[in-house]
Amino acid sequence: MEKIVIIGNGISGITAARHIRKLSNKSITIISAETDYFFSRTAIMYVYMGHMKFEHTQPYENWFWKKNRIDLVKGYVSNIHHKEKKVLLDNNKEIAYDKLIIATGSKPNKFGWPGQDLDGVQGLYSKQDLDALEKHAPNKDICKRAVIVGGGLIGIEMAEMLRSRNIPVTFLVREDSFWNGVLPNGESQMLNEHIREHHIDLKLKTNLAEIRSDENGRAKAVVTDSGETIACDVVGLTAGVSPNINFLKESGIELGRGVKVNRYLETNIKDIYAIGDCAEQHESIGNRRPIEAVWYTGRMMGETIAQTVCGNKIEYKPGHWFNSAKFLDIEYQTYGWVFSERGMKEYEGHFHWRHSSEKLCITVAYHKETKQFLGINTFGIRMRHQLFDKWLTEEKNIDQVMESLKDANFDPEFYAQYEQEILSKYNSDFSKTIKPKKKSLKHIFA
Amino acid sequence: MSTYDRSMALTGQPPVSLSKNQKLATLLGLGGLAIFLLAAFNLSFPNKGLWLTLSLASISIGTLWFAWDAYSNKKPGIKNDGVWFKSLVNRGFWGWILGIVLTSFYIILYFYPQYLGLVSGGENKGVIGLFDPLSRILSGNPASQWFVYGVLYTVAILAFGIKFLWKYRHNRYEKIRTLSVMFFQTSFAFLIPEFMARLNGDKLNLPYYDLKNMWPLNYYNFERYRVNALIDGGNIGMAMLLFGVVSIFVISPILTYKYGKRWYCSWVCGCGGLAETIGDPFRQLSNKSVKAWKFERWIVHSVVVFVTLTTTAVIYSYLGNDTSKYWLTKTTFLIGVAAILTLVFSWVMLFKRKQLQKDAQYGAIGFFIVVVGLIGLHFFSGDGDIFFIKAGTLRKNYSFLIGSVFSGVIGTGFYPILGNRVWCRFGCPMAAILGFQQKLFSKFRITTNGGQCISCGNCSTYCEMGIDVRAYAQKGENIVRSSCVGCGICAAVCPRGVLKLENGPLEGRINPTEVLLGNDVDLMEILNKK
């Protein structure tokens, strides 16, 4: 029986294991140093906030693994001997494999800041990070202030977490507006406002210079590049993540920032594959980045690699880009590509609408010459993935999308509808006279 | 986390103690309840009307004050902060205390109403006596333990309904749905039957009838005394009797086809109304394990069989044999019941078998054989008690075991232990029948939004019916489950906009997928079209 070993029990590794089991009878072993069982990393914020208990973040009951003959090993892989086809654990135990899948995910970035390894300084990625935050910031008396460094998706989640326990938060963001390397200005501005209305002390255009230590080696203050000193008990480092591959340095596997893989997710060494956050494509796929640290791309790579490992070799071919996030109370979804002013293609045009009082807005990207619909960002209005995926494949033009926008609405029943208002703004911005099409269940479910 | 353990807060903020306002509000509410307690120990209140008003007002104002303090200074949005840190709602110390208090209340209410002050044929005392003035205003009669319960029930749904409206003020589905249960409780369940009692006199003696409470939830609806009273009740009575039959056999299937069972369970039903308002803080306590789901399927369908047998036996017992007196005789009735059951069973087995789990199929076959077998046996064994037990005994057992212990003592008393929908999930035969229709013959589903699910588990955690919503969402599969009451909370708490309750075409409603949207189409085809 062929022996498959997977390093990492995150979404990528687990998806691979589940699909290999569906397709075959191979022996499957998953090694993780983080937790005994798979949990949903995206949900750790809700554990700290008290929305869920940690066990609720585990999508499968504990009996699931045994029943599906997936062996779980708790241990830290210190090296791989690919010539002997063996994985070495740090307790000197060895595990032999026929095929090896590396799915070790990411670790929070640290950019060599003075004090970055002090007690009370942490990222927010792993179960251990969650435990550390519970220890250092259990309430507002023990943690009188927290400083978060890095204005991205994790940063704002961490701010929300701490605010749920009424801990004052200072949020240092390098850019002149929150996440505006990714989001167009209008959206980024709206989020600045929303962050501040949640009483988060947002400091834009501010970098971390140094973290000061108290006599016990614990963080006690942050110094910014403008020379300001902010007393704090916890420092959150949330300036992105990078592949967690240090243990592979001696392995002979080709590394860049991540584990280098081709479109079949194969590394330079036969029978060793890499998937998920830790994999780095030799060449970007479309507009995607070579390393994609996104939940669903990890899942898709897991689905793909399972096919390859089980004899049906196929390329990793992600479809149209999509993603989602939640900024405090504002839900965000994106389908296709909408770039910020900084990353915008020269052919890319934008239509932007924002509600006069509510925190709702959308941005639609289109091709200036062909008028082809390129993508949409939507804040506070849920939209239907299937439909946008279809429209992107069919290369609809922006007018067609705007007139059928009602079909794409995915908000709960009885919610106020804004398509009429959006369309009027579109018509007046572009001097058009487009009329909305009636909502059609046929189009939606076709 | 133990630092939070004794917090009584119901509203989602992890500070260790309640705010000053919340403490005062709690005190006020408990003060209202204390008046009842004093009355229960037969402290005589001089002006009953005044003290009752005072008590109900302090309970309501206390609740509203608490909710106002908890939500008014917050942005609209999900308010689940700290839920699992609070001992009242995480099965902690206060949760158990509350569970014991509620359970005891129900035991007294159902089995020892004399301790509440019920005096048959004399002046009521105690708590029930306190409610006499209100009862006389409404129906003209003295109060009973059921009147007391009805008032408290309605006050609970109204006060905690307003709290719920605040909590979910960003969500119009939740707001409209809650206004609906508040309306149906106040009018149909409480005021209309009270006013109807005023119509009764020498000529008319209509039974207490909550029109929205249909058989089999209202298991006693077709009992002899009620049917007689309705038949004697002239046009109104006959209309009500007819409505009772039509509502289960015509109205409910049509509405369930169009909207799913939510039209009843989370928009109209009184049990649902209580669960969705005062029960809302406990929704996360439902058990999500596969085992619990299996247990649920067996037990709830057993109750359906039990109630069908009981009702059949009861109706059978008072029908005659002579066709010349009345068209519906013992024989025609039994044949009718057997025919309906056979029809439903054959239809399911022929056309819908694939949509049932394996054990559900076995269960259906088993139950069908038992019921039809019993009816057949009865025919061949001559006249006697149907199902070998006296109808009265069967009825008494059902009323005790299911009507009182299951729906009341366990169903509501165990809110803080097993979650707010224990009865609806494990015991309610009405929910089972509507669920059966919802699963096999309805346009309702919870649509999953492509590949957006991040498996966080908020949906599963806050599903009061114990459905593992995430298990479907993370596979990109629509949720079509007979137990889903359509409360919409899964969609509300989803941080990624993945879930939407909707009524759409039957085709493609159940869509098991191997791979979610997002991958290149080839891979999806390889896996999905296998």
Is B512 near chain A, with CB under 8 Å? no
pLDDT tens sequence across B4-46? 444 444 443 455 568 899 999 999 999 999 999 998 887 778 8
Going by C-alpha positions, the residue among B335, B363, B361, B367 that lies closest to residue B348 is B361
Q: Is the pLDDT of residue A385 over 50?
A: yes
- Across the interface, whether the CB atoms of A43 and B456 are under 8 A apart is answered yes
> How confident is residue B73, by pLDDT bands cut at 50, 70 and 90?
confident
- Asked whether B447 and B500 are in contact (CB, 8 A), the reply is yes
Q: Cα(B389)–Cα(B281) distance, rounded to whole angstroms? A: 42
pLDDT score for B319:
83
Same fold, A3-106+242-309 and A121-239: yes
User: CA dihedral defined by A137, A143, A148, A149, rounded to 10 degrees?
Assistant: -100
- Across the interface, whether the CB atoms of A61 and B289 are under 8 A apart is answered yes
Looking at CA atoms only, how far is residue A422 from chain B in angstroms?
20
Is B513 near chain A, with CB under 8 Å? no
Q: What is the rounded average pLDDT of the residues A340-348?
A: 93
- The verdict on B88 and B189 lying in the same domain is yes
- What mean pLDDT value characterizes chain A? 96
Looking at CA atoms only, how far is residue B78 from chain A in angstroms?
8
- Across the interface, whether the CB atoms of B519 and A317 are under 8 A apart is answered yes
**Is residue A27 helix, strand or coil?**
strand
DSSP A85-121: TEEEETTS-EEE-SEEEE---EEE-----TTTTSBTE
In this structure, the strands spanning A201-203 and A169-172 are parallel
> How confident is residue B530, by pLDDT bands cut at 50, 70 and 90?
low
Q: What is the rounded average pLDDT of the residues B163-176?
A: 97
Q: Is the pLDDT of residue B382 over 70?
A: no
- The verdict on B77 and B112 lying in the same domain is yes
Q: Cα(B60)–Cα(B155) distance, rounded to whole angstroms? A: 7
In this structure, the strands spanning A279-281 and A259-261 are parallel
Looking at CA atoms only, how far is residue A249 from chain B in angstroms?
31
In this structure, the strands spanning A86-89 and A279-281 are unpaired
Q: Cα(A267)–Cα(A272) distance, rounded to whole angstroms? A: 6
State the DSSP H helix or E strand holding residue A18, giving kind and residue range, or none if neither. helix A11-23
Residue numbers in B near A384 (CB within 8 A): 449-450
pLDDT tens sequence across A180-222? 999 999 999 999 999 999 999 999 999 999 999 999 999 999 9
Identify the sign of the CA torsion B373, B376, B381, B383: positive
Q: Cα(B493)–Cα(B487) distance, rounded to whole angstroms? A: 12
Q: Cα(A381)–Cα(A331) distance, rounded to whole angstroms? A: 7
pLDDT tens sequence across B210-230? 888 888 988 888 888 888 888
Residue numbers in A near B75 (CB within 8 A): 197-198, 328-329
Phi, psi torsion values for B424, nearest 5 degrees:
-60, -35
The topology (CATH level 3) of A3-106+242-309 is FAD/NAD(P)-binding domain (3.50.50)
**Pick from A57, A324, A328: CB nearest B496:** A324
Annotated domain spans of chain A: 3-106+242-309, 121-239, 322-445
Catalogue the E-assigned strands of A348-446.
348-354, 361-367, 373-379
pLDDT score for A271:
97
Surface of B (156-185) touching A: CB under 8 A: 170-173, 176
pLDDT tens sequence across A122-165? 999 999 999 999 999 999 999 999 999 998 999 999 999 999 99
Q: Cα(A163)–Cα(A49) distance, rounded to whole angstroms? A: 9
- The verdict on B120 and B179 lying in the same domain is yes
Identify the sign of the CA torsion A32, A35, A37, A38: negative
Q: Cα(B474)–Cα(A155) distance, rounded to whole angstroms? A: 25
**Statement: A121-239 belongs to CATH 1.20.120.1770:** no
Q: Taking CA B35 as the corner, what is the angle to CA B33 and CA B39, rounded to the nearest 5 degrees?
A: 120
pLDDT score for B230:
86
ipTM of predicted complex: 0.95
- The verdict on B308 and B456 lying in the same domain is no
Which of B33-37, B327-331, B452-456, B522-526 tops mean pLDDT?
A: B452-456
Residue numbers in B near A326 (CB within 8 A): 495-496
Q: What is the rounded average pLDDT of the residues A19-27?
A: 96
Q: Taking CA B65 as the corner, what is the angle to CA B61 and CA B66, rounded to the nearest 5 degrees?
A: 120
pLDDT score for B122:
77
Q: Is the pLDDT of residue B494 over 80?
A: yes
Looking at CA atoms only, how far is residue A93 from chain B in angstroms?
33
Q: Which residues pair with A260 in a beta bridge?
A: A280
Which chain B residue has the Cα nearest residue A294? B454
- Across the interface, whether the CB atoms of B500 and A410 are under 8 A apart is answered yes
- Across the interface, whether the CB atoms of A166 and B173 are under 8 A apart is answered no
Q: Cα(B163)–Cα(B11) distance, rounded to whole angstroms? A: 9
Is B85 near chain A, with CB under 8 Å? yes
- Across the interface, whether the CB atoms of B458 and A414 are under 8 A apart is answered no
- The verdict on B219 and B242 lying in the same domain is yes
Tokens of A162: 């701490």
Residue numbers in B near A413 (CB within 8 A): 172-173, 500-502
Q: Which residues lie below 8 Å from residue B344, measured CB to CB, with a gap of 6+?
A: none
**Is residue A227 helix, strand or coil?**
coil
- The verdict on B448 and B437 lying in the same domain is no
DSSP B137-174: HHTSS---HHHHHHHHHHHHHHHHHHHHHHHTTT-HHH
Q: What is the rounded average pLDDT of the residues A298-327?
A: 95
**Is residue A383 helix, strand or coil?**
strand
Domain count within chain B: 3
Q: Which residues pair with A31 in a beta bridge?
A: A7, A73
Q: What is the rounded average pLDDT of the residues B111-125?
A: 86
Is B266 near chain A, with CB under 8 Å? no
Q: Is the pLDDT of residue B348 over 50?
A: yes
Give the residue from A198, A296, A301, A393 with the most B CB atoms within 10 Å of its CB, the best one to mutate: A296
pLDDT score for B85:
92
pLDDT score for B134:
94
Q: Cα(B35)–Cα(B315) distance, rounded to whole angstroms? A: 44
Q: What is the rounded average pLDDT of the residues B95-118?
A: 93
> How confident is residue B1, by pLDDT bands cut at 50, 70 and 90?
very low
- The verdict on B254 and B271 lying in the same domain is yes
Which of B419, B443, B467 delimits the end of a domain? B443
Q: Is A316 exposed, middle or buried (0-12, 13-18, 19+ CB in 10 A)?
A: buried
pLDDT score for B10:
44
Q: Cα(B460)–Cα(B467) distance, rounded to whole angstroms? A: 6
User: What angle in degrees, to the nearest 10, is found between the helix axes of B145-167 and B172-184?
Assistant: 170
High-pLDDT (> 90) share of chain B, % = 53
Q: What is the rounded average pLDDT of the residues A58-80?
A: 97
Q: Cα(A300)–Cα(A321) distance, rounded to whole angstroms? A: 12
- Across the interface, whether the CB atoms of A319 and B517 are under 8 A apart is answered yes
Q: Which of A112-121, A407-416, B13-22 has the lowest mean pLDDT?
A: B13-22
Q: Is the pLDDT of residue B154 over 70?
A: yes
Going by C-alpha positions, the residue among B31, B210, B156, B187 that lies closest to residue B420 is B156
- The verdict on B52 and B168 lying in the same domain is yes
- Across the interface, whether the CB atoms of A412 and B492 are under 8 A apart is answered yes
pLDDT score for B512:
78
- Asked whether A229 and A172 are in contact (CB, 8 A), the reply is no
- The verdict on B217 and B348 lying in the same domain is yes
Amino acid at A280: E
Superfamily for domain range A322-445? FAD/NAD-linked reductase, C-terminal dimerisation domain (3.30.390.30)
The residue that leads in pLDDT, B159 or B205, is B159
Tokens of A363: 């941005």
Q: Which of A138-152, A163-177, B84-98, B370-384 has the lowest mean pLDDT?
A: B370-384
pLDDT score for B287:
96
The residue that leads in pLDDT, B194 or B446, is B446
- What mean pLDDT value characterizes chain B? 88
Which of B382, B412, B443 delimits the end of a domain? B443
- Across the interface, whether the CB atoms of A50 and B82 are under 8 A apart is answered yes
pLDDT score for A446:
67
Q: Which of A253-262, A385-394, B86-95, B120-129 has the lowest mean pLDDT?
A: B120-129
- The verdict on B149 and B214 lying in the same domain is no
- The verdict on B288 and B335 lying in the same domain is yes
- The verdict on B389 and B435 lying in the same domain is yes
pLDDT score for B4:
43
Q: Which of the 8 DSSP states describes residue B190?
A: I
Structural domain span for residue B122: 2-200
pLDDT tens sequence across B258-289? 999 999 999 999 999 999 999 999 999 999 99
- Across the interface, whether the CB atoms of B81 and A318 are under 8 A apart is answered no
Is B474 near chain A, with CB under 8 Å? yes
